[in-house]
Amino acid sequence: MGERICSGTPASPGVGFGNAWHFGEDLDGAAQIPQERRESERDAALAALAAAAGELRSVAHDLDGPAAEIVETGALMGEDPMLIAAVERAIMADGVAAAEAILRATAEHAKLIAGLGDETLAARADDVHSLGRRAARLAAGQRATAPPADDVILVAHDLGPGDVAEFASALAGIALAAGGPTAHAAIVARSLGIPMVTCLHEGAHEISDGASVVVDGSSGAVVIEPCSDRARSAQTDMRIRRLAARRAYELRDRPAVTADGTRVVVLANVASRAELDVGMRAGAEGIGLLRTELAFLGARDWPSEQEHTDALQPILAGLGHDQPAVVRVLDFGADKSPPFLRDVPQRGIELLLVHPAAFVAQLRAVLLAAQRHDVRVMLPMVQTVLDVSRSRGLLEQVAAQLGIDRLPSLGSMIETPAAADDAPAIAASSDFLSIGTNDLTSSTLGADRFAANTARAHHPRVLRSIARAVAAAHEANIPIEVCGEAASDPIMLPLLVGLGIDELSVGAARVGPVRDSIRDLSAAEAAGLARTALTMDSAEEVEAAVRSATAERALVK
């Protein structure tokens, strides 16, 4: 039987090859628990939930800090009163055994979360399933599951972020029936450089345990029993990726300078200390985007000053004294809404300005952190100069209350065509600009930012918006960075350098490859390529031009 190709959704880039290992087997059901044993069974179930939460905290600790606050949040779910009450009901009222009660309650809890109609909250459903599997195993007295060998392809219906972090050292790739690119498991996989494909649906069930599998996390393809040529190619890709990681570590102190001498600062996008550590090992020069909202997506109310401080400190502690951290203030709204803000119409800085007390709480924490670190404040989804001036006024007011004289730089994110059009005025009121290419691309082209292959940042219309923002920043004599996914895209990279971007902030696992790619570029040639791309009509034309120029440069070298 020949190779079989299943198509899913790309969730973490790279190619992995190995033997399939199925994770998350079902537990056998149990007979009805008699009345006299139900209290002890309930106690065992609650102890198992607490122990599972403890395991997740241990995983987070082993990653040198919250892989995230994301993994830590998974642990907190074990203490959710609604979940605990559901487990107790299943045992005390229905006589269900501890392991089965946990699985039933977490499945119901996950279904409730997934049905809320909020993409970010729905992503937490997988985390609840993962917690339930872990706790049910403990309640049933089963030994912990472990990969049977190194370089396995983990195959499952869904996965929690703690599972990814715990098994990372043995994984060559991950193939999931469900999940998605915005799920917490995918975020952790990207931060650790593990290829992942999600949404395989029935395709995942075609993968037998031990089968050889190729996972292409860039294209979304999973190949079962690949032909020898494909398997060798995947093994070569894995070897190259690992060599690149080692090379990035060896060259981490060498700046990213093009072949003709243009310096480009490469920073890391992070939401956790684990991601920062990955980026710093590869030579990141600091943090270009600290996503503060990810630590609070499950919050029941606006975070307090202390909660902001507790989230910031472990991450900033990983920086050297001269390494910057661009802290984006809470970008709640749209796909990133905690329960208490569900269905709010505002997003980003507009939402914060509607809730000034919440904004002030974060500004106090950031200002105090800025006394010990090179912190810069970034405003998400800026639309007008008024957004900047009102935010600066609050920043100055808080600084005066704290007796702080030296204010951190205040920057604006350009994420819509309207903001790009107004970039000269916004730049004149800002200390730096940052381009969020994910939202800029989707809003320019009218596409879903989460749908695969529907919106391309190298479309000429998007490039023209970026060019306007770059020109405005340079006219105002302030730096401009790109912190969206496009910053590490092989097609976009030469275009961004050619357009004159000063800084690129990329996913932690992409820092090394991006730095290497910059060293291979000629800034002069990239500028010519960018000028040509701005006159084109389609993303396909631009892509063809970039690929042709890249091939020609490779031949010259």
Q: Which of 6, 373, 459, 483 is catalytic?
A: 483
Q: Is 503 helix (H, G, I), strand (E, B) or coil?
A: strand
Q: Are 198 and 183 in contact (CB under 8 A)?
A: yes
Length of the chain: 557
Angle between helices 492-499 and 523-534 (to 10 degrees): 100
How much of the chain is in helix, strand and coil states, percent to nearest 5? 55, 15, 30
Nearest one of 492, 500, 508 to 457, comparing CA atoms: 492
For residue 22, the cross-strand partners are 155
| Other residues' Cβ atoms within 10 Å of the Cβ of residue 461 | 14
- Amino acid residing at 27: L
Helix residue ranges per DSSP H, 502-538: 511-520, 523-534
* 184 classed as catalytic: yes
* CA 5 vs CA 174, 176, 215, 216, 401: distances in Å: 15, 14, 10, 11, 62
Sheet holding 4-7, edge to edge: 4-7, 221-224, 212-216, 15-22, 152-156, 171-176, 196-198, 9-12
Apex 203 CA angle, 200 and 209, nearest 5: 110
- CB-neighbour burial class of residue 263 (10 A; exposed 0-12, middle 13-18, buried 19+): exposed
Q: Which of 184, 373, 458, 459 is catalytic?
A: 184
Q: Which two tokens stand for residue 51?
A: 């122990």
- Kindly tell me the sign of the dihedral angle through the C-alpha atoms of 122, 127, 130, 134: negative
* 227 classed as catalytic: no
Q: What is the DSSP string of 210-222?
A: T-EEEEETTTTEE
Backbone angles phi and psi of 9, in degrees to 5: -105, 125
How far is it, in rounded angstroms, from Cα 342 to Cα 338? 6
Residue numbers annotated as active site? 184, 483
